């Protein structure tokens, strides 16, 4: 696999931690950029606390499974940037890099003397992407976010749930995943612009702000039509429309029925299938797949208006049928007949049972020095000439410190050893991992 990669020879200085920033640089790494992750064990956030360490291993800085999946394709430089010597090393590193990415609070890098102007003095065409909660400008720039808070404040949480119930929200930090997407998108966009014009720039990406445009049609319904989302029947659960409430579009495509999740055999926690009919012909095909039961021939179900009006009854009939089939069997029968249906899939389903993801090699095993062999998630796209790939497992903390300090930045081995002795590369009072002792030989 020695094929050319899209971001060959691009170097990224990565100050990011937890999820959103590391998720961004993970993809730049998969596309071939050299990602140098700057870490310090005393204030590390992302490796610990770990709830994804395999049960047979000790929880330590190098055994988080989630960290591994989020940080493949990177190198780790452990460095105390809060010392003059550490800062000098960072400056030398930035001088030979293309992109700086960080997801600290809005003023942190500036306080270190590494604001955009200072970065330009070190590297005039640097692409500097800051990924903060609220951005570097605006009165609430010092506010902080985690995914759930960004989702709440931006309106995303409100779009999920059943009418009359509290918001169901998003069961994970969607805006950490998506914030990471925007970080990578901004970095690539800035890089393209630099390659075309020779100009770098500062890109102020904000997790809470990036979430707002994801509500576009709902926002336009308000700014154009004056219709807010606090209304009867919204959000409509999995339906396009909630029965018995005013007939309006609910921002999930066409207003149709059936459009819902239905329980499947044997009725366990994740035994559900979703079925959607976008047109009368699709509904008629579903009727055939269900064996043309007499209830389905009722005039009230013949039109989309009728199916919307009698949706509750329609859904009960469909579920009585769907309960007789497993979710994969139901999916295959429906899709073979041209009916939109797919199973609700847990993580286990996706990794073990999804034939499409298996065919597309979504989860391939990759060895890791501390975690052994585990599956890692692959890119959702294939570039014909420069395919993305997972080519490095996530780094052990500080694993590449010597390679970077001596190999890339041309410090001598004596200087490297001195940096360990004075606490620049590892806290003097903290036990070193065996691979650090080897580096010091």
For 34, phi and psi rounded to 5 degrees?
-85, 115
| 188 vs 396 by CB, closer to another protein | 188
Alpha-carbon radius of gyration of the chain: 26
Looking up tokens 């994740």 gives 270
Least distance from C-beta 356 to another protein, angstroms?
4
| 294 vs 384 by CB, closer to another protein | 384
Q: How many CB atoms lie within 10 A of CB 317?
A: 18
| 133 vs 419 by CB, closer to another protein | 133
SS3 367: strand
Q: How many CB atoms lie within 10 A of CB 144?
A: 14
| 241 vs 402 by CB, closer to another protein | 241
- Relative orientation angle of helices 327-336 and 280-289, to the nearest 10 degrees: 130
Residues counted in the chain? 441
Least distance from C-beta 241 to another protein, angstroms?
11
Least distance from C-beta 299 to another protein, angstroms?
25
Rounded Cα gap, residues 212 and 207, in angstroms: 9
Least distance from C-beta 403 to another protein, angstroms?
25
| 357 vs 405 by CB, closer to another protein | 357
Please say if 177 is a catalytic residue.
Answer: no
Start-end of H helices in 142-173: 147-154
Least distance from C-beta 314 to another protein, angstroms?
15
Pairing between strand 127-132 and 201-206? parallel
Least distance from C-beta 5 to another protein, angstroms?
8
- Cβ contact 211:176 at 8 Å: no
The H or E element that residue 130 is part of is strand 127-132
In this structure, which long-range contacts are made by residues 220-227, counting pairs with CB atoms below 8 Å and at least 24 apart in sequence?
A: 221/249, 221/251
- Residue 194 in tokens: 């630099």
Looking up tokens 């140098």 gives 36
| 212 vs 418 by CB, closer to another protein | 212
The catalytically annotated residue of 14, 69, 176, 354 is 176
> Please, what is the Cα angle at 177 between 171 and 179, to 5 degrees?
120
The residues annotated with a catalytic role in the active site are 176
């Amino acid at each position: 696999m020695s094929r050319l990669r899209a971001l060959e020879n691009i170097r990224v200085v990565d100050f990011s931690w937890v999820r959103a920033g590391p998720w961004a640089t993970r993809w730049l790494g998969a596309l071939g950029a050299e990602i140098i992750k700057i870490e310090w064990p005393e204030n590390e956030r992302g490796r610990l606390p770990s709830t994804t360490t395999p049960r047979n291993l000790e929880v330590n800085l190098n055994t988080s499974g989630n960290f591994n999946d989020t940080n493949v394709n990177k190198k780790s430089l452990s460095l105390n940037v809060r010392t003059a010597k550490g800062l000098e090393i960072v400056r030398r590193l930035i001088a030979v890099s293309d992109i700086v990415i960080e997801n600290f609070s809005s003023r942190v890098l500036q306080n270190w003397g590494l604001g955009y102007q200072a970065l330009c003095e070190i590297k005039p065409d640097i692409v500097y992407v800051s990924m903060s909660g609220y951005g570097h400008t605006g009165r609430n720039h010092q506010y902080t976010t985690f995914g759930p808070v960004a989702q709440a404040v931006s309106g995303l949480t409100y779009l999920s749930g059943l009418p009359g119930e509290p918001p169901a929200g998003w069961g994970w930090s969607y805006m950490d995943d998506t914030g990471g997407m925007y970080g990578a998108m901004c970095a690539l966009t800035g890089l393209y612009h630099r390659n075309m014009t020779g100009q770098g720039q500062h890109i102020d990406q904000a997790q809470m702000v990036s979430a707002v445009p994801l509500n576009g049609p709902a926002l336009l319904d308000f700014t154009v039509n004056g219709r807010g989302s606090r209304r009867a029947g919204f959000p409509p659960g999995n339906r396009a429309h909630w029965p018995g409430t005013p007939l309006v579009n609910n921002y999930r495509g066409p207003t149709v029925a059936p459009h819902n999740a239905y329980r499947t055999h044997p009725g366990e926690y994740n035994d559900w299938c979703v079925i959607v009919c976008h047109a009368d012909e699709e509904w008629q095909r579903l009727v055939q797949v269900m064996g043309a039961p007499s209830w389905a021939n009722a005039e009230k179900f013949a039109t989309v208006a009728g199916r919307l009006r009698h949706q509750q009854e329609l859904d009960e009939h469909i579920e009585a049928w769907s309960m007789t089939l497993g979710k994969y069997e139901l999916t295959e029968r429906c899709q073979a007949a041209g009916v939109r249906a797919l199973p609700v899939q847990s993580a286990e389903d996706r990794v073990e049972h999804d034939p499409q993801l298996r065919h597309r090699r979504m989860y391939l095993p990759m060895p890791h020095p501390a975690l052994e062999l585990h599956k890692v998630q692959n890119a959702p796209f294939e570039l014909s000439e420069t395919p993305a790939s997972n080519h490095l497992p996530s780094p052990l903390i500080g694993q590449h410190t010597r390679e970077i300090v001596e190999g890339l930045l041309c410090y001598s081995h004596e200087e490297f050893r001195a940096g360990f002795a004075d606490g620049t590369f590892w806290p003097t009072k903290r036990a070193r991992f065996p691979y650090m002792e080897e580096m010091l030989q």
